[in-house]
């Protein structure tokens, strides 16, 4: 069935982005996996080619194009080439962090930060998760107590994507520790802030090329001018951005499953056993048929959610569903693909093994899938 989501302008963009990835990213991916981090210069190169923060207004050097289908193309191409190390950091910068600045930053803040975000000079991260708090954002313990024209920030964050590379961290803090959700605010902590230190580059099961770090704040002095929006409204701001974040994760998951299936079809056509190619066996063809059906059916829902998002009517429940289904499907499909690769599927030198390891986290971040089920279930019986 022919997909109708993308138009000619998206396909032209795809070719340009694919060329960039093939020339400047793919040749170095394994090297960056070993190093545990993508060089900052790659973000600058992406910015130079116009691949960062496209929705940013032209007055801040952006393209002013608020069309999530361009982001969807980037997800597809990044996973087609097996580049999640760079891809997760880039899509976090574009899909997750940028909306906070577009929606809640003042004109002065936009002028100060957006041009650097568009160019790749300023890399962003978001600091929500803490050592003792994951999906329960109301339970965060990091505090920001106002003292004159500064906030004094104390606490710690963990599992922070772009944690080492980030120049700007959108930090969830308690400006009123006596409250739960109503006490949360968002402040932007800049590289070089006194009292802000980075811990380990955490060793993960997958996504080895993506820096994921601990962040520590000890009497860190952050200017009040770095408050995003209003005090006490941070939880609402985060909830308001979760639909796009979960849609972004859904695109990563679907694209990963689709690419894994494509690699597997190519592999079974070539690999021989018992005098036949693996593709000659009925069990192989049936497994591929199940996987293709899952990917294609899921893709139709994903496309509809993307169009709904661009119209402005993707609901919280739909975003939870698409994140839940795509990530669970990704796990099932990639597991089948690993099995069809046999022993080679378990070797990290193969793209399918790396994709399989990388995939496990998608059921955890942006809200664990147990939380997604609760969101959908509550809406059904409310």
Q: Is 345's pLDDT higher than 90?
A: yes
Task: Using a pLDDT cut of 90, give the percent of the chain over it.
Answer: 92
- Do 94 and 74 touch, CB atoms closer than 8 A? yes
CB of 338 closer than 8 Å to CB of 358: no
- What percent of the chain shows pLDDT beyond 70? 100
- What does the buried/exposed string (b/e) look like for 304-318 if buried means 16 or more CB atoms within 10 Å of the residue's CB? ebbebbeeeebeebb
pLDDT, mean of residues 95-101 = 97
Please state the rounded mean pLDDT for residues 265-270: 95
Q: Quickly state the pLDDT bin for 346 (edges 50, 70, 90).
A: very high
pLDDT digits (tens, 9 = 90+) for 225-260: 999 999 999 999 999 999 999 999 999 999 999 999
The reported pLDDT for the residue numbered 134 is 67
All domains of the chain, ordered by start, with CATH? 8-122 (1.10.540.10), 125-232 (2.40.110.10), 235-381 (1.20.140.10)
CB atoms under 10 Å from CB of 93, counted, come to 27
Rounded Cα gap, residues 382 and 379, in angstroms:
5
- Specify the pLDDT at position 138: 78
Say whether 347 sits in a helix, a strand or coil: coil
pLDDT confidence band for 137 (50 / 70 / 90): confident
Q: Which active-site residues does the annotation give?
A: 245
Question: Residue 359's pLDDT is what?
Answer: 96
Q: What is the pLDDT of residue 270?
A: 93
Confidence of residue 273 (pLDDT cuts 50, 70, 90): confident
Which helix or strand (DSSP H or E) is residue 258 part of? helix 234-270
How far is 43 from 25, CA to CA, in rounded Å?
10
Helix (H) or strand (E) holding 212: strand 212-223
CB 95 within 8 A of CB 35: no
> Which secondary structure element, helix H or strand E, spans residue 277, and what is its range?
strand 276-277
pLDDT of 382 over the 90 cut? no
CB distance 296 to 355 below 8 Å:
no
Burial of 186 (0-12, 13-18, 19+ CB in 10 A): buried
Query: Does the structure show a pLDDT above 90 at 85?
Result: no
- pLDDT level of residue 81 (50, 70, 90 thresholds): very high
| pLDDT per position as a tens digit, 281-327 | 999 999 999 999 999 999 999 999 999 999 999 999 999 999 999 99
């Amino acid at each position: 069935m022919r997909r109708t989501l993308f138009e000619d302008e998206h396909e032209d963009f795809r070719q340009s982005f694919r060329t960039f990835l093939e020339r400047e990213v793919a040749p170095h991916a394994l090297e960056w996996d070993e190093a545990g981090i993508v060089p900052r210069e790659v973000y600058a190169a992406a910015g130079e080619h116009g691949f960062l923060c496209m929705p940013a207004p032209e007055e801040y050097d952006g393209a002013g194009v608020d069309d999530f289908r361009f982001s969807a193309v980037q997800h597809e191409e990044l996973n087609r080439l097996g580049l999640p190390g760079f891809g997760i950091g880039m899509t976090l910068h574009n899909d997750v962090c940028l909306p906070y600045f577009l929606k809640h930053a003042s004109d002065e803040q936009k002028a100060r930060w957006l041009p650097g975000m568009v160019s790749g000079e300023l890399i962003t991260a978001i600091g929500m998760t803490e050592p003792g708090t994951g999906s329960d954002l109301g339970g965060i313990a990091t505090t920001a107590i106002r003292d004159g024209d500064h906030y004094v920030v104390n606490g710690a964050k963990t599992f922070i994507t772009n944690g080492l590379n980030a120049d700007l961290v959108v930090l969830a803090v308690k400006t009123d520790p006596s409250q739960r959700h109503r006490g949360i605010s968002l402040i932007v902590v800049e590289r070089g802030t006194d009292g802000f230190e980075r811990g380990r580059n955490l060793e993960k099961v997958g996504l080895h090329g993506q820096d994921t770090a601990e962040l520590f704040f000890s009497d860190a002095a952050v200017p009040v001018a770095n408050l995003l929006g209003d005090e006490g409204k941070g939880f609402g701001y985060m909830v308001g951005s979760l639909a796009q974040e979960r849609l972004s994760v859904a695109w990563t998951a679907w694209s990963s499953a689709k690419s894994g299936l494509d690699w597997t079809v190519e592999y079974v056509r070539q690999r021989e056993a018992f005098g036949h190619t693996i593709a000659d066996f009925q069990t192989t063809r049936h497994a591929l048929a199940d996987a293709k059906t899952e990917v294609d059916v899921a893709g139709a829902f994903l496309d509809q959610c993307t169009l709904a998002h661009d119209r402005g009517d993707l609901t919280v429940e739909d975003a939870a569903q698409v994140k839940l289904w795509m990530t669970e499907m990704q796990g099932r499909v990639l597991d089948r693909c690993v099995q069809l690769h046999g022993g080679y599927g378990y070797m990290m030198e193969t793209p399918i093994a790396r994709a399989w390891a990388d995939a496990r986290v998608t059921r955890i971040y942006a809200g664990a899938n147990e939380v997604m089920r609760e969101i959908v279930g509550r809406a059904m019986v409310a």
